[in-house]
Structure 1
Amino acid sequence: MNQPRLFTTLDGMRGIAALGVVVLHRAGILGRFHASHGHLAVDFFFLLSGFVLTFAYQKRLDSGWPTREFLKVRLVRLYPLYGLAMLMGCVSYAMISTVGMASMWQAQSLSRLGLGLLLVPIFWNRWVLYPLNFPLWSVIFEIVANVVHASVFRRRSWRFVAAFTVAGFLGLCALLFHFRSINYGVRNPHAVWGLVRLLFGYTSGMLLYRVWRSGWVRVKLPSVCVVALLLGVLVIPVPQARIALYELVCVVVVFPVILLLGVSTEPPQVLVGTFRALGVASYAVYVVQEPWYQFLNRVWMLVPGHGELTSSWVSGTLYLGTLMGLALILDRFYDGPVRAWMTQAMTARRPAAMRKKVPPVAA
């Protein structure tokens, strides 16, 4: 437990989950292959975040590491790609607008962009929280979880965290009872249900870290099987009448089991590079999926004889392949350098006595 951990299998799972969300948002992008439950990947992300951030930072937080320093580290990790994705969303909105690029300079668009860059959701309309790039809603919820983690869950017993997990579970039951699906949170009228999903997922991840650290989990599966299990959960067809039960079992039982299996195994050397690439690309894939689709779709439709990208396996593979490529390019030439610069700038401003206490940025 004291040795450095890479959690390479979790990298592969993170990438598969991100792609599952993309395929869900673009129904038909791969022909008959659907990620019918791709929205559950968001709940898996919340669970994963709770586990990984507890593993990476809980000891420091319990030892008195200031909340503001923790949040600075998280902001360095999340904001560069978030800010770029918001700008790309504004451009893509202009591309599909009837007034073209002029819409970028309209007061409404500028206000949405400005508020988005300031991490402020648009709560006062009845549409999505981020009209310029709707998947960004879960990034904001992730930041909310980080704030609560650092300010509430430091030096707390597992019973204290478990009480919040129970509250989140009851909230999930209420959500599924009323709407028969867990897929709520992105739109303003039901944004509070996204907080319920966050509460259960994140605190469950914190508890799972304690379970894993205890050494109780001894069952291991090959990493490929673990990743395949996650993929199966996202794509398996389920009768409409049983969707609510299926989603509840997945979030409450299946995802925690898959996560514990994932942290207990590492992929063979031949797959390490692939799994790490999936993990590296996952965040960018998630946040730029919508603006990249709008751009590529506009270019694709300019080719004679082609409709939208959702019309064939060829176009779908083109979209997903270029999205993965773009994500890796952004990590190499934008996100990585910007994060390094931000970390260096913040470190230079700290008193010399604190500089040695700055931890590495966790994924």
Structure 2
Amino acid sequence: MTHAQTQESNHLQRGLKVEQKKILDTLLQSVYRQEGWVFFVYGSGGIGKTYLWRALISKLRSENHIVLAVASSGIASLLLPGGRTTHSRFKIPFALNEYSCCNIDQGSDLAHLIEKASLIIWDEAPTAHRHAFEAVDRTFRDIMQLRHPTSMEKVFGGKVVVLGGDFGQILPVVKKVGRADVIDASISKSLTIWPHCTVFKLETNMRLLQRDGKLPAIAKEGEDEPMWINIPDDLLIKAREDSIDEMVESVYLDLLQEYTNPTYLQQRAILTSKYDMVDKINDHILKMIPGGEKVYKRADRVCPITKTGVNVEALCPTEFLNTLQLPGIPNRELKLKVGCP
């Protein structure tokens, strides 16, 4: 271990809340005793799961333990130190069924890494199909049986596995099925894994603190049933109607000093539901950035003659094509400045 690793571990542990610390201690004891077990840490967004993972990973890696940190989605995996997606790390096939196995050969480098791992952390677990967990379970048993023959009878081959996520968010995506089938695809319906899970629940929301995300509903005048809420003032940007200035200033504070800083940009975003508003905001910010602007224009035309002999080019002139803004098609003009993302 290095001094920096120890410092980071101590710093993260000092920031743990009481319920996080209890879970951390339980998981560490299971790792130290090499008790092959499966844990599930349940909690909504902002509850502190990612912070718990970081503290756990930092503590074990500072003691020279191998921790494999994975997540069901690419974005979630980026939040874990050394994180990878589950499909990438464990070679899970995309076409899954109840008999699937991972594409990991016994004796391979990846198999040896799994053998030596003290802990597996799998974040955003509820979004993955239960067949994915069963495939990993089946593969781990097969890998671990070479060292411990009894591993074939243990969940995940006797490895300590910690799953995390929120069943109130997105469940596995299953095409063209009903709600019951979607629920049946979740890990909570896996008879080989879920009965062996010890479930912990985090309840203190670290983002909202005293606000639990629930606001009292109110009824407008003339309405019998309360169907509206008042958004708290601290969650609102005080701005004029359709004003972009205040929104940009609030989100991108010190933009002109920080617009070339990738970390600064990664920590901020403005979300909108319409493409035209995206363009308005981008154009507004681009004008704020110093420097000369380069404009590149799209070349639009259609096939002049179709099989029916109709002159489509006359029906769809370039001026009309230039007005089209469709998903997957670049805008008419691309505006660029040096140093601007």
Higher helix share: 1
TM-score, normalised relative to structure 2: 0.23
Larger C-alpha radius of gyration, 1 or 2? 2
Q: Which structure is higher in RCO with an 8 Å CA cutoff and minimum separation 6?
A: 1
**Bigger strand fraction:** 2
